[in-house]
Chain A
Amino acid sequence: MISFTYTLKDPMGLHVRPAGLLAKEVRKYKSKITITAKGQTVEAMRLIAVMRLGTKAGDTVVFSVEGEDEAAAAAALQSFLEGSGA
Chain B
Amino acid sequence: MVAFVVVSHSAKLADGVIDLAKMSAPEVPMFPAGGLEDGSYGTSFEKISRAIEQASGSDGVIVLTDLGSAVMTTEMVLESLDLSNVRMAEGPIVEAAVTGTVLSASGAALDEIMEELEHL
Cα–Cα distance between A24 and B27 once the two chains are bound (Å):
12
Query: From residue 15 to 68 of chain A, which have CB atoms closer than 8 A to chain B?
Result: 16-17, 19-21, 23-24, 27-28, 46-48
Query: A16–B120 contact, CB under 8 A?
Result: no
Cβ-defined contact, A16 with B95, below 8 A: no
Q: Would A17 and B102 be within 8 Å (CB), given that A48-B95, A48-B120 are in contact? A: no
Q: Which residue of B lies closest to A24 (CB)?
A: B106
**Complex Cα gap A59–B103 (Å):** 27
Say yes or no for B73: interface residue by CB 8 A criterion: no
Q: Which residues of B contact A28 (CB under 8 A)?
A: 106
B20 near A: Cβ within 8 Å?
yes
B24 and A20 within 8 A (CB) = yes
When chains A and B are docked, how far (Å) is the Cα of A21 from the Cα of B120? 19
- Interface size class for chain B? 10 to 19
Question: Bound complex: CA of A19 vs CA of B26, how far in Å?
Answer: 14
Is B23 touching A20 in the complex (CB atoms < 8 A)? Answer: yes
Q: Is the CB of B24 within 8 A of A17?
A: yes
- Interface bin, chain A: 10 to 19
- Smallest CB–CB gap between B112 and chain A, Å? 10
Known interface pairs A48-B95, A48-B120; A23-B23 also in contact (CB < 8 Å): no
Contacts of B107 in A (CB 8 A): 27
If A16-B20, A20-B24 touch, does A47 touch B102 (CB 8 Å cutoff)? yes
CB atoms of A48 and B99 under 8 A apart: yes
Q: How far is the CA of A28 from the CA of B107 in the complex (A)?
A: 9
The complex places the Cα of A46 from the Cα of B24 at a distance, in Å, of 13
7 sampled A-B residue pairs with Cβ under 8 A:
A20-B102, A24-B102, A27-B103, A27-B108, A28-B106, A47-B102, A48-B120
